[in-house]
Amino acid sequence: MHQPLALLGGKPTRSKPYPAWPIFGRAEEQRLIRTLRSGRWGRLQGPEVARFEEQFAAQHGCRFGLALANGTVSLRIALLAAGIRAGDEVIVPPYTFLSTASAVLEANALPVFADIDLDTFNLSPAAVAAAITPRTRALIPVHFAGQPADMDALMALAKKHKLLVIEDAAHAHGASYGQRPAGSLGHIASFSFQSSKNLTAGEGGILTTNDQALAEACRSIHNCGRVPGGVWYEHHVVSGNYRLGEFQGAILNCQLDRLEQQTQTRERNGRFLAARLAQLPGLYPQKRDDACTRHSYHLFMLRFLAEEFGVPRQIFLQALKAEGIPCSAGYGFSLHHQPLFRNKAFGPFLPDDAARLDYTKVECPNSDLICSRQCVWLEQHLFLGRRQDTEDIARAFERIYEQRAALCEWANKNGAMPAATRPANSSRRRTNGRGRKGVR
């Protein structure tokens, strides 16, 4: 006889919390105090930000690094530095955080959405090819969840059409593709150090590149348009102050010392969980691209096919949380459905001919499908523990699957079953890696 699911009154699979995030200790304390006492709190005075830029860039295969206030302005500055102009088009995925597209608007250009691949959740090269117009100037692939996008195909397209490629590597600290680290795969890359990220100082960002001219242009824009060798009150381009402070630099230097070991742990645990979950019907962990030599597992993502697993996603997530496994459905809808795009509420950033783009007509069915019905997210800090901690996640999934009939009965009785998605209480075996025809 099974112990009932925690949602039905049983003992949870796990009662111990997962490692909290961020992780810090005496190293951070000492470095912050040293910075405080030095009185050198700005990057133009102190050593911390400069040291961090150098080390982070080197670890990510680049000669140049430029720390910034966050991973949104970094994208915008990369676009401005590359000469993107009003009305230019920049291709972005619809399955991403707002900034990937809003940074394009704030650079006075227009984001054009191209769908993702249903198995990897990354920008589909075929969809990008179909979205290219004579106005396309750049594309921003996101290494979603920490798996590098299909950069070989995307760079080939970029070369053919003379496009700039900005990697949005906000999730991909320490990830790699073939022999090369994320951050060195496009022309320039942007990382974020916002609170949830695999490397964090609460806020912050960095651009990495091997292109000296781009690096210098970005540096000037981030520092009020100043240029090397110029004097303090000498400003050459429209720009602002997007500098990172020394306290954040101090924390980032300590966190960077922890990154390699944490990335190895996440990768080990993430791979283990992916292999275990793939054994169960209806669970399709993010497909690993052959070229992905290291996944940074900012998120562990999977497609959850209710029809095969036998439980609606909403009920499943409730049950998984009750088992002591924090989880979510991720984005509720694709980015282009935001009111911002539907209403073209672009404020001063509306090119005269923006009428040619109607975001209510954009079609990205793969992104829509995983948002509305299929995606499940587990956050990176769950993967910083031991094998046993990941084993608990696998056991919770397995337990829910074994007791799916009781769970559905409970949901029906308690009026919790979502009417529109009520599945047959199926025990069908999975058919192939992409789900049955019609299930999507």
Ligand X SMILES: Cc1ncc(COP(=O)(O)O)c(C=O)c1O
User: What minimum distance in Å lies between the beta carbon of 41 and ligand X?
Assistant: 21
100 binds ligand X (CB under 6 A): yes
**Residue 174 makes contact with ligand X by CB under 6 A:** no
Binding-residue total with ligand X (CB under 6 A): 14
Selected range binding ligand X among 164-172, 265-273, 343-351, 394-402, rule: CB under 6 A: 164-172
In the list 13, 35, 70, 108, the residue contacting ligand X (rule: CB under 6 A) is 70
* Among the listed residues 206, 218, 192, the one whose alpha carbon sits nearest the alpha carbon of residue 79: 218
The type of residue at 4 is: P
Using the rule CB under 6 A, is 316 a contact of ligand X? Answer: no
Give 223's strand partners: 241
The answer to the question of residue 35 lying near ligand X (CB under 6 A) is no
Asked if 314 is part of the footprint of ligand X (rule: CB under 6 A), the reply reads no
Q: Does 79 bind ligand X (CB under 6 A)?
A: no
Measured torsion, CA atoms of residues 191, 195, 197, 203, in degrees rounded to the nearest 10? 10
- Asked whether position 207 contacts ligand X by CB under 6 A, the answer is no
DSSP H or E run through 90: strand 89-92
Q: Is 97 a residue that touches ligand X (CB under 6 A)?
A: yes
Q: How far is the CB of 69 from ligand X (least distance, A)?
A: 8
* 96 scored as a contact of ligand X (CB under 6 A): yes
In angstroms, the Cα distances linking 173 to 61, 294, 399 are 12, 10, 33
- Specify the stretch interacting with ligand X by CB under 6 A; choose among 125-133, 165-173, 309-317, 360-368: 165-173
Helices vs strands, H then E, count in the chain: 14, 13
Is it true that the peptide bond before 22 is cis, omega within 30 degrees of 0? yes
Quick one: which of 109, 110, 131, 170 contacts ligand X (CB under 6 A)? 170
Q: Which of residues 103-162 bind ligand X (CB under 6 A)?
A: 142
Residue nearest to ligand X (CB): 71
What's the min distance (Å) between Cβ of 207 and ligand X? 12
* Closest separation in Å from C-beta 138 to ligand X: 15
Asked if 99 interacts with ligand X (CB under 6 A), we say yes
Residue 192 makes contact with ligand X by CB under 6 A: yes
Per-residue DSSP letters for 226-265? --TT--TT---SS--B-PPPHHHHHHHHHHHHHHHHHHHH
By the rule CB under 6 A, 198 interacts with ligand X: no
Chain centre distance of CA 430: 28
Q: Could you tell me which stretch among 97-105, 107-115, 175-183, 220-228 binds ligand X (CB under 6 A)?
A: 97-105
Q: Is 197 noted as a catalytic residue in this protein? A: yes
**Catalytic residue selected from 197, 344, 361, 413:** 197
Cβ-contact 180, 155 below 8 angstroms: no
Nearer to ligand X, 72 or 184 (CB): 72
Q: Is 205 a residue that touches ligand X (CB under 6 A)?
A: yes
Q: Which of 221, 209, 212, 219 is nearest to 185 (CA)?
A: 209
Q: How far is CA 186 from the centre of its chain?
A: 17
Q: What is the nearest approach in angstroms of ligand X to the Cβ of residue 308?
A: 29
**Which range in 78-86, 93-101, 237-245, 262-270 contacts ligand X by CB under 6 A?**
93-101
- By the rule CB under 6 A, 255 interacts with ligand X: no
Q: What DSSP line would sit under 37-62, residue for residue?
A: HHT--STTT-SHHHHHHHHHHHHTT-
Q: What is the DSSP string of 63-74?
A: SEEEEES-TTHH
Are 96 and 299 in contact by the 8 Å Cβ rule? The answer is no
Tokens (6 digits) for 249: 């630099």
Cβ-contact 90, 161 below 8 angstroms: no
Q: Which residues are catalytic, by number? A: 197
**Residues of the shown chain interacting with ligand X in the complex, contacts defined by CB under 6 A:** 70-72, 96-97, 99-100, 142, 168, 170-171, 192, 194, 205
